[in-house]
Amino acid sequence: MNLTHEYNYARTHVKAIDWSYVVGSHINLDSIYEGPQISLFEAVIRYLGGLISAYDLSGDDLMLQRAEDLADWLLPAFGTSSGFPVTHYQLGLNPNGKRAGRVVTADVGSLALEFTRLSQLTSKDFYYDNVQKIIDLFDGDQWVSPDRLGTLFPETVDAEDPESLSEKYSMGGMMDSYYEYLIKQHQLLRGRRSQYSKMYTSAIESARTHLIRTYDIESPGGKNFTVIGSMEAGVFTPTLDHLSCFAGAMIGLGARLLNRKGDLDLALKHTDSCVWAYESTQTGVGPEEAWLLGGNEYTRWKIVNYKGKAFRELHRSQDRGPTVMDSRYIGRPETIESVYYMWRITGDRQWQDRGWRMFTSWMESCVTEFGFASLKDVNRWPPVLSDHQQSFVLAETFKYYYLLFSEPDLISLDEYVLNTEAHPFRLESPGKPAKRYWSKPDESVNKAYEPPGINEGERGYGTFIQQWDRVDLDKISENDLQVYNKVKGIDTEDSYIT
């Protein structure tokens, strides 16, 4: 997008940020302390993944250096008795071989891509070794339970209680990126380790048996509606969860990489169903979650027109078919992610056309003066907005829309693998020059934002806000207090000034 100036501004923040800021004076690498916790999973997929991707796209050594700095702060979380890391991590803590306990499957199963790519870039094996141990645990034969569905895993697991596998199974939240990273790790490693393709293939076959269903839901003519539902306590729920709509992208990618032609058909059908959920609401935006209610007959729908828009309305006399369980939309990317993959994999222009309708509906419903609000109910018009914009709106949703309408060689899926936050990692291609989208730092920006006394090349000295937060308020002047209040966004009436 040629946003070089904006990148250079962001670069000053990356250079300055002090990863140990949340530790304060409590750091003790040999014992547990009471302090703020971070989500290891979120720190890896968002921060570490973003820095690695920024390096792969720019060639800016600073991004790789800061990625290493962060990774080294996160590595102690892996020091548990099982190898599953501590998922709610007190930065600076060494678990000293303590149990990780019961953890969310995606939280421990979705770290491989970032640490593997960092290992490739730095030639430091220990980054890869820590996450490979996790995959080896998932691939072990200790997970034996009559409750287990094939080779799938429930929402939470305990490496030291492997027979307890009776919770909910799905490909939605708490599970999604574990399966996603199996095929993407295969892609990142260029297939050199067969373990990942084997685990992925087995999981997809298990999902076909236990979680994937196709229904006829419309008449006249009928409409095939393919869902990846959930199973809990032996009860199957035909759920269309927005989070599970990523699966079209995953299954389509696996179909192409592993030559599984039947899987491409499944990916197309599931993506079609997820887009249908958008096309069927009054706003043209898809809900967080819908269920399919059972029945032997086609569900009868009528087409309703409202201000030039057509949407579907279930006859009140019917008690079957899709019903919205959570009517919110919070800017999620999963459906457009799958639309983007279907376009890149098949070249079928219908996916661009449907994606464009999704985009315009989103803009008509959610754009505000200062950002992109969430919807309280996708079936209410005029839209009722919620004053929230999630971080993934910019990191993922807009990125997939942008790439959908870009030339296919921009972030080509033959050259990059995207992590679960849509950060592109370059695939190793010996002898092939890397594409770079940045030239050099802007010295004028550096001088404007680096505080006095900072040496050239020094990093981690603290952002502007971090530095001000360390100020002893009892030892600064009233003028400096006013500056402090402005930086921190404190109303003067509620400030320290008396």
Residues that are catalytic:
42, 176, 288, 334
Q: What CA–CA distance (Å, rounded) separates 390 from 184?
A: 25
**Closest among 265, 253, 159 to 208, alpha carbons compared:** 265
Binding-site positions for Ca(2+)? 420
Consecutive H or E run containing 322:
strand 321-326
Amino acid in the structure at residue 315: H
Binding-site positions? 420
| Alpha-carbon distances, residue 289 vs 240, 268, 285, 434, 471 (angstroms) | 6, 20, 12, 41, 47
Question: Residue 38 has which token pair?
Answer: 């971070």
Q: What CA–CA distance (Å, rounded) separates 341 from 361?
A: 20
Q: Is the peptide bond before 382 cis (omega within 30 degrees of 0)?
A: yes
Q: What CA–CA distance (Å, rounded) separates 85 from 98?
A: 10
**Closest among 156, 259, 147, 131 to 201, alpha carbons compared:** 259
Q: What CA–CA distance (Å, rounded) separates 468 from 145?
A: 54
Rg (CA), the chain: 24
Alpha carbon of residue 75 to chain centroid: 21
DSSP code, position 455: P
The residues with which 237 forms a beta bridge, in sequence order, are: 230
Q: What CA–CA distance (Å, rounded) separates 320 from 300?
A: 9
Question: Residue 290 has which token pair?
Answer: 């819908």
Alpha carbon of residue 363 to chain centroid: 22
